[in-house]
Structure 1
C-alpha cells in the first residue's frame, strides 16, 4: 500500500480493462499513486495466453510493470515503487506503483463476500478508502456496471479512464465539412481570387470560421457554393472552388452521389493527393459502395494503382478464422460479404453479373486479407480498404497504417454507433483517434456521411429504432 498520506495527492486503483485498453496507463497519473490489485494481475495472466485480440496488450502491460518492479522487494511492491524517470512529455509520473495482495484480505475487510473478480477489486478500493481517509481513493474502470456497483457499495470516487480521450463527446468529432447558414458569399467581407489552369482559388480571411483545418469542405445552405480548404496561414485560408453542381456530378464506376455528403466523399476518394480517406456515418450511408467504386475506377479505368486489398476486423476473427475451410481469402469471405454485396450492386445490370464480378476481381487484383496477418507487411502502390474500422484500437490502426508504403491509398470506413468490442466506446475507438489526429495532415480527408440511402426501410430504422 502507498506510503504517502498527503491529501494533496490521490490513490488510483486500476481495473483490468484499463490496462487492456492502454497497457501503459499506470504511467498517466502524474504525482498520484497507482494501486494494481493482485486480481488484476491474475486476469492479465489469464488473458495474455488466450486467443483474444487484447492478449498482446495484456503481455505489454505485464512486461512494463515487471520492468519497473523487477528489483523491488516484496515489501517495496506493497509499499509502492517510485515511477519517476518513466514516461514522456509534460505528464511524467512522480507517484508510486504498488501491488495490493487482495487475495489475503480477511472477510471483515470486505463489503462483497462473493468471490467474483470485480467484487474483489471494489473491496480493495473500499479498504483503501477507509484506511487512507481523508485522502481521495479513486477506482478507474471502463465497466459501467462495475462503476454502479462500486458507488452503491459506498465508494465515493469512481471514474472512467479519460487521459487518452481526444474529445469528451462524440458530437464534437470532426465531420470533415463546415456548413454556413444562408449564402456563403454574404459571410465573406473580402476575397482575392486567382485561376490556376481550370481551378479557381479564393484567398479568404481566416476568421470566417472557427478552427479550420486542411482538406475541410465548405458548404452553404443555399447550395450555391462548395469548396475545400487547401492552405491555412495565420490570417488567411486558401479555398479551392469546387462548385456545388460540379461536385454533385462526379462519378466513379457508374456510381453518382445521391447527396452532398457522398459527393464530398467521392471527391476525396478520387483525389490522388489524399493518402488517407476516412469515412464515418450510419449503416446504409454508402461508405463501402463509394470506397469500392472509387477503388475500381482508379485501378481498372485510370490504372493509377496495381491492386485493391480489402481487410476488416471483427472480434471473432482471431478465434474462428482458423476453423473455416480453405485459403485465407476463402476463410475471410464470410466477413467480407459487404464487399461482394457491393460488387453485385455495381454490376447488377450486366448481362452476366457473376462473370462480370469474377472478371473484375481478377482485373482489379482484389485480395481479401485478415487484419491479423497485416503486421510486418509493406504494401506498395495499392488501395487498401479497411472496413468496419470502428472496432479497432488506436494501436491496431497504427499497425495497419504503418504498413502503407509508397503510392498506397488507405480508405478507412466505420460506424461509431456499431462498436462490438467490449473494450472500446465511441470516444475511445481507434477510428475516433484517426479522425482527430489526422485532421491537420494535408494527406488525409475525413467525411461524415449523415444520410441513409440504402432504402426507406433502412432510413426509418436508423431514425426511429
Structure 2
C-alpha cells in the first residue's frame, strides 16, 4: 500500500451480551426483613417455596409480635401478584407489576410445591430431620432448580449465615445475603454529622461570598470545595474555625459560622456538654428546623442523657411539646410483654430502666431524688411505649425518643417514623456495635439505612457521639474487651 492511499477502517457493530435471567429462591427471613422483597429482583424470576408460606402462616398469628405484622404484609404482597392466576401459572411464574426494566420483560413470581420433592440419587438433597426440616426443604428447592436448569443461575437468598454455609456445602453454586437494604459497603463510611478538616479550613477554599438572610450571615462556597457536604452537618478544623452547613444546592454550600465556646455553653435541664460531639448534638436537638435527630455512638457516650435532658428542657421550660414518649422494641427473649402484670409503662419498665438511671443523674443532687423524678415524670407527661404497640397511632405535639434502634430493620423504623404527627420531634438512638438480632448486621441495620437516607433531608440531623463519658472502665471495656 503506497503512502498516498487512505486507510480503511471497517466498522463492526458492537455485540451486546444478552442479560442472563436469574432465578432467586427466597428464605422466610428475607420476607420478614423486607415484606416487599418480591418486587426487589426486577426482571428476574423469584421462587417462594411452599415451606416459606407455611412459616409465614405460623408467624402471622403470633400475638403482639413485631414480626407478625411483617409476615401479614408479605403474604398480602404475594397475594396481590398471584391473586387471579391459575394454579399452573402460579407454579410457572406470574408477572410482578412494576418490576419491568426498559426494553426488558417483567419479573415473575412462582410458588414451588416443595412437598412434592422426593429423594433423588442424582441430587444431593438434605434430609428432612425435624430440627432442620424447614431450612433443608428450602435449600432442596434451590438444589432441585439448579439440577433441572443447569444453564441458568439459581441463587438462594437468605439472611441466615449458617443456612448459607449449608447450602454451599450441599453443592448450591450461588448463595447470597439479601442486599437491597445495604446502603454502604463499609460501616466506616457511615455519615457522622460532622467533618474535621486538617490545618486551616479557609486555606483550602478558593472563593467565598457573604450574604445576609434575616439576622444570619452565611458564607457561600463552591460545592466542589465540599463535595460531600449535606445539610445540618458541622465543620471544624485544627484552628478556631467552626461552622454549620445551613443548606446545600447544586452549585454552592451555605455555611453559618459558629464558635466552640457558644456550643460548649449550651445547657439542657442543668446538663452541660462534656465534649464537642455532645455540644454539636445538643445544637441539633435545639434546632427548630430539625424534625428528626439521629444519634449513633458507643455505650456510655451520653446519647440517652442528651435526648432526655433536651426533652425535659423543651417540655417543662420552653413549653414546645405536651408529652415525652420513650419507646424501644422489646427483645425476642422477652417474649410477649402482654403476659407481664401491670400497665404498659410497668410492663416496659425492665427494658426502659436506662431512662430512670438518666433521670437519677439529672436529679441526683436534689434533696429528694425519687420525689423529683416522680414529679418530673408527671409534669413532663413521660409515657413509656413498646414499638410493637405504636403502629397505627399518630403522635402530635410530642417529643419522641426511640432507643436501641440498631436492632430494627429499615421497614420497622419507617413504620415508626411515619407515625410522627404535627408539631412533633423525634430522636432516634442506637449503637451499631450492640446488635442482638441474628439477621441484622451493622451494614443492614435500619439505623444505618436511616442515617444514609436522611442525611440530605434538610429537616434531619445526624450526630455520631463518640468518647465514653460514663467512666474510664466503660471506655476500656468498649475499646478493648
Larger radius of gyration: 2
Aligned to 2:170: 153
- Equivalent of residue 44 in structure 1, options 33, 44, 56: 56
Counterparts of 1:101-116 in structure 2 under 5 Å?
101-108=113-120, 109-115=123-129, 116=133
Q: 2:207 pairs with 174, 186, 190, which one?
A: 190
Confirm or deny that 1:163 pairs with 2:163: no
1:5-154 to 2 correspondence within 5 Å?
8-51=20-63, 52-83=65-96, 85-87=97-99, 94-108=106-120, 109-115=123-129, 116-154=133-171
Partner Cα distance (1:72, 1:395) in 2: 28
Partner of 1:277: 293
Counterparts of 1:32 and 1:198, CA distance in 2: 56
Distance 2:100 2:417 in 1: 23
Query: Matches of 1:113 and 1:217 in 2, distance apart?
Result: 57
Range that drifts further, 278-287 or 21-30: 21-30
Give 1:95 shift.
Answer: 2.7
Q: Secondary structure at the match of 2:319?
A: coil
In structure 2, the partner of 1:372 is 388
**2:191 aligned residue (164, 174, 182):** 174
Q: Which stretch of structure 1 is more off in the superposition, 111-120 or 17-26? A: 111-120
Please name the residue that 2:7 is paired with.
none
CA contact (8 A) 1:82 1:96 kept: yes
Q: Of residues 403, 417, 422 in structure 2, which corresponds to 1:387?
A: 403
Question: Aligned partners of 1:220 and 1:117: how far apart in 2?
Answer: 56
Structure 1 contact 30–92 (Cα < 8 Å) conserved = no
**Secondary structure of 2:351 counterpart:** coil
Quick one: which of 204, 210, 224 aligns to 2:221? Answer: 204
Counterpart of 1:3 in structure 2 is none
Structure 1's 267 and 76: CA in aligned 2 closer, same or farther, altered over 3 A?
A: same
Q: Which residue of 2 aligns with 1:304?
A: 320
More displaced stretch, 169-178 vs 264-273: 169-178
* Range with greater deviation from structure 2 (277-286 or 412-421): 412-421
> What is the CA–CA distance in structure 1 between the aligned matches of 2:234 and 2:19, rounded to whole Å?
50
Q: Which residue of the other structure, out of 244, 250, 273, is the alignment partner of 1:228?
A: 244
Other structure's SS at 1:333 match: helix
> Is contact 1:86-1:92 (8 Å) kept?
no
Unaligned runs of 5+ in 1: 1-5
Matched, 1:265 2:281: yes
1:418-433 equivalence runs, <5 A = 418-433=434-449
Report the Cα distance in structure 2 between the residues aligned to 1:95 and 1:396, rounded to whole angstroms: 26
- Describe the superposition over 1:4-40 as per-residue Cα deviations: whole angstroms up to 9, x where unpaired: xx98211111111111111121222122111111211
Q: CA separation of 1:59/1:304 partners in 2, compared to 1, >3 Å: closer, same or farther?
A: closer
Aligned match of 2:353 in 334, 337, 358? 337
Aligned residue-pair number: 458
Distance 1:276 1:7 in 2: 42
Change (3 A) 1:78 1:194: closer
Q: Deviations over 1:30-62 (max 9, x none)?
A: 221111112111211111112332111112222
Q: What are the ranges of 5 or more consecutive residues in structure 2 without an aligned counterpart? A: 1-17
TM-score, length-scaled by structure 2: 0.90
Contact 1:13–1:34 (CA under 8 A) maintained in structure 2: yes
Deviation at 1:375, TM superposition (A): 2.4
Deviation of 1:281 after TM superposition, in Å, equals 0.8
| Distance change >3 Å, CA 378–CA 45, structure 1 → 2 | closer
Q: How many angstroms does 1:221 deviate by?
A: 3.1
Distance 1:355 1:167 in 2: 47
CA distance in 2, matches of 1:93, 1:23: 23
Question: What secondary structure does 1:126 align onto?
Answer: helix
User: In 2 relative to 1, CA 304–79 (structure 1 residues): closer, same or farther, beyond 3 Å?
Assistant: closer
- In the other structure, the counterpart of 2:4 is none
* SS of equivalent to 1:212: coil
Aligned-residue RMSD, C-alpha:
2.2
- CA drift at 1:318: 7.7
Q: Does 1:447 align with 2:463?
A: yes
Moved more, 406-415 or 311-320: 311-320
Q: Give the distance between the partners of 2:217 and 2:102, measured in 1 at CA.
A: 44
Number of the residue aligned with 2:475: 459
